[in-house]
Chains A and B, each alone.
Chain A
Amino acid sequence: MSEFQALSEAVLKGDIKTAVAETQAAMDAGANIQDILDTGLIATMDEVGDRFSKGIIFVPQMLRSAKTMQECMKLITPLFQKGGVTSKGKVLIGTVKGDLHDIGKNLVLMMMEGAGFTITDLGVDVTPEKFAQKTQEIEPDIVAMSALLSTTMPSMPLTIEALQNAGVRDKVKIMIGGAPVTDKYAQEIKADAYASDAGSAVTKAKSLMGIS
């Protein structure tokens, strides 16, 4: 940890400039890229998540830390493509067909990225067919769907059906969330997990992947 103390502190503070400079410095000094990611960035984001859940920091501070991490990632990601990146898991995310509300989905997306997941964002109003087609294409570990309106919730089971028809349902874990969505509903439509907010989405995603 001490190796990346200054980087870690900059990410905690959300000081993008310093964090990027520290990442560059670590790379220049020949540090292992996976160590920079795991120890410098993801471990720090775990600490950020922990501080947030304890109420020590607020959402904008957490998101700034996540953004800081993203900026650092831009430097190291190109190097990974040669060596092979180790991600906590691939997540495909979007709001379901008919639903255009994406603030909640975007929060989940940022928190998951911060926790080390690789995200593919399909945006809003995503048809079941689109979810299925993209799932076949990129083979994610988790498919995450959100709905704000009661009237768009039926798109969730339809999407699961589309995944089934495409023969990929059993290859992914399905997470759902959004204001009218409940744990009971998740069970009814046979989703694998329900998360009530962005923080618990990360926890649920980790447990679906079998990581703590």
Chain B
Amino acid sequence: MNPIDIPTFQPRLKVLSREQVLAIHTAALEILEKTGFRMEHPDALKMLADAGCRVSDDNWVRMPGHLAEQALKSAPRQIALHDQKGNKTMPLVDGNPFYGTGSDTTFTHDLETGQRRRTVLQDIANFAKLVDGLENISFAMSMSNPEDVPIENIYVYAFAEIVKNTNKPIVFISDSGKDIAKIHQIACAVVGGEEEFRRKPFILNYSEAISPLRFPENVMEKLIFCAQKSIPICFPSGSNAGGGAPITLAGAMALGIAENLVGLTVHQMFGKGSPFLFGPNVSTLDMKSTVVSYGCPEWALTQAALADMRDELYGLPIWAYSGASDAKVMDAQAGAEAMFSIITSMLSRCNLIHDNGYLEYGGISSLEMVTMVNELVAMSRFFVQGIPVNEETLALEAIHRVGSVPGSMFLTDDHTFDNFTQAQFIPKLLDRSRYDTWEEEGAQDFYKRCNVEAKRILAEHQVEPKSDEILQAIDKIVQGG
């Protein structure tokens, strides 16, 4: 009989005990029952009232906890996001992490000049194409709010541009029930109809309530539309500590979770079993600059805590962020802050991890940053795979061969030849060359190498094109009234 294999322990970060998880959840329910929230969508308000909520003047709702518990039960544990070819590339479930870009930056760093400038539609195309060409970036977002399209249809233009430049899954923004319907139409056109889309969704909507405890009508329109059409959605609010929420992280989490539970409850009322990605954004408001920080340790900590809450209690896949920075250029601070959130989000097994490639606390999108993140995700993934311990990896035979035969060495041993590509992390852009080589090759720093690589991908990568029929259908929907 063969010996039993030793399972490989894969490093895992935990930040909350079960008692802490339950206390935060209880606090969230108490917020809904005792403080309540403002619901500004008439149909949602009526549904909540009919379900047993107390509604008072000014659309103020107090919600019994059991409604939230019910919604947590009916939402699916897995959200299977597909690519646009129908392959299930992003099974959002348990501890599967997937990294992607962000949205809505006002500025970008020009790839040629390095200057910070306003974003245009072509930038959205570039980011989508870059994502398509990077193996560790799993989904695309717009990254930019382009200044050269009509602002009342900005998100429809952005979405169409992403679709034309990548076949990966897309996380999208919209303004209200009006433009989201158009975006849904485009998505259906891409995969060949609404039924096909329901079976293999490739888009996920990002909508935000307003912390503290306010649910505007246009935001709820989107949520209800997604619930009815089975479009996966996440619904974080801006419960950043000190701004939209209390300064202490536990309270900020409780408030953000309470707001998420309102969204989830209404969502499940309008579309029982529709997919809902759980999780608030709990960053901090910087007490000097009043910016919401994207490089802070607090956000990494609260999303790790949320992963613990998923495992202990909620069971729903979660929304997270990483690979972003408050630095104004892609410097050492940007690298440090990006890696901090990338490795912690992976160690804590967050699921859908967005905002990779942000600088200036979400003000600037950077193609070089996204290219860097691709490498850092690979590095982190290598780390969390742990150290397999078995006969092959213990390598006693190789040790014996090399150790007992004078003049032999591991570098020439078959065991090295057979194993080195799995046993080692092989960087693409992180530089380990000898000094002279590095100097001869232009003495490029990491930023410069990422710049060159981003340019190379944009020049060489071929996105599998969509048919003329689909492209025409998209343009027709975009142009249509």
Stretch at the interface among B60-68, B287-295, B331-339: B287-295
| Minimum C-beta distance from A181 to chain B (A) | 8
| Contact, CB under 8 Å: A153 / B290 | no
CA distance A107 to B289 in the complex (A): 11
| Contact, CB under 8 Å: A182 / B118 | yes
CA distance A59 to B386 in the complex (A): 44
CB-contacts of A99-154 with B (<8 A): 100-101, 103-104, 107, 150-151, 153-154
Is B104 in the interface zone, CB < 8 Å from A? yes
Is A184 in the interface zone, CB < 8 Å from B? yes
Is A55 in the interface zone, CB < 8 Å from B? yes
Q: Which residues of B contact A59 (CB under 8 A)?
A: 285, 287-288, 290
| Contact, CB under 8 Å: B210 / A198 | no
| Contact, CB under 8 Å: B288 / A55 | yes
Inter-chain CB contacts under 8 Å: number: 43
| Contact, CB under 8 Å: B151 / A150 | yes
CA distance A60 to B247 in the complex (A): 10
Q: Which residues of A contact B236 (CB under 8 A)?
A: none
Q: Count of chain A residues with Cβ under 8 Å from any Cβ of B? A: 19
Of B118, B247, B285, B289, most buried by chain A (CB within 10 Å of CB) is B289
CA distance A107 to B291 in the complex (A): 12
Is B154 in the interface zone, CB < 8 Å from A? yes
CB-contacts of A70-117 with B (<8 A): 100-101, 103-104, 107
Chain B positions within 8 Å of A, measured between CB atoms, are 104, 106, 118, 145, 151-152, 154-155, 175, 210, 214, 216, 238, 242-244, 247, 285, 287-290, 363
For this complex, 29 residue pairs linking A to B, each with C-beta atoms less than 8 Å apart, are: A55-B288, A58-B288, A59-B287, A60-B242, A60-B247, A100-B214, A100-B216, A101-B210, A101-B238, A103-B243, A104-B290, A150-B104, A150-B106, A150-B151, A150-B154, A151-B152, A151-B154, A151-B155, A151-B175, A153-B151, A179-B106, A179-B363, A180-B104, A180-B145, A182-B106, A184-B118, A197-B289, A197-B290, A198-B290
Extra contacts besides A103-B243, A150-B145 (17): CB < 8 Å? A58-B288, A59-B287, A59-B288, A103-B244, A104-B290, A107-B290, A150-B104, A150-B106, A150-B151, A151-B154, A151-B175, A179-B106, A180-B145, A182-B118, A184-B118, A197-B289, A198-B290
Chain A positions within 8 Å of B, measured between CB atoms, are 55, 58-60, 100-101, 103-104, 107, 150-151, 153-154, 179-180, 182, 184, 197-198
